[in-house]
Chain A
């Protein structure tokens, strides 16, 4: 079975621009979570969606938003990019939203210049 897929793999943007990152979960998984990982640190939680509803939000500004589609895929949007948004953005999928193991995709490397 295919694992979690993310696109694009790499992305270079300039300050002030907008970016959309995409994620497809493992088949049968209904929950998608987004994490930001800055070099040398552990991933930080951004959002979780389950059955198209937001189930959790981390300590990130309103410039960050996300949504989940009927096929359970998800988008993460970041507006007004800052240099500090440069990071590896990880998507994880799980069967449910509270107890199940989260399986991660390969990530999208975002560089903001």
Chain B
């Protein structure tokens, strides 16, 4: 069964304290791995798409990487405005159905 698991469920950081979020996936024929940011009560905001192992993408303080079993979202020197829930989703096989993890809620304190 296709499955995506994120860890940790919650993460508290001090402003400037770098860390990484993990996304482990078991998906048949992965076609893409997606990262989204979600603020409370709002829809997910697209961050990155990764298609193959070894691929990396960066945007401001965020960097996403992909291996054959997991993806990492690295946050460098976070700011309070980076506080949100980060969702990982896998697109398996011959389908347009995104399989989401439960999310990691990040809180960055000033």
| Partner-B contacts on A (CB < 8 A) | 4, 6, 31, 33, 35, 40-45, 48, 50, 55-56, 58, 88, 90, 92, 94, 97-99, 101-107, 109
Contacts and interface: CB of A to CB of B under 8 A. Distances in A.
Given A99-B32, A99-B91, A45 B43 contact: no
A40 B96 CA distance: 23
**Chain B contact patch, size range:** 20 to 34
B46 to A, nearest CB: 6
B44 A50 contact: no
Given A35-B98, A35-B100, A43-B44, 12 more contacts: A33-B98, A40-B102, A42-B103, A43-B100, A45-B98, A50-B96, A99-B91, A102-B96, A103-B46, A104-B36, A104-B46, A105-B43
B96 A48 contact: yes
A60 B100 CA distance: 16
Contact of A31 (B34, B41, B96, B100): B96
6 contacts: A35-B100, A42-B4, A90-B43, A103-B46, A104-B44, A104-B45
Contacts, number: 70
A67 B45 CA distance: 24
A104 B43 contact: yes
B27 to A, nearest CB: 13
B97 A101 contact: no
Contacts of B89: 42-43
Contacts of B42: 106-107
B31 interface: yes
Interface in B87-108: 87, 89, 91, 94-103
Contact of B101 (A31, A42, A56, A98): A42
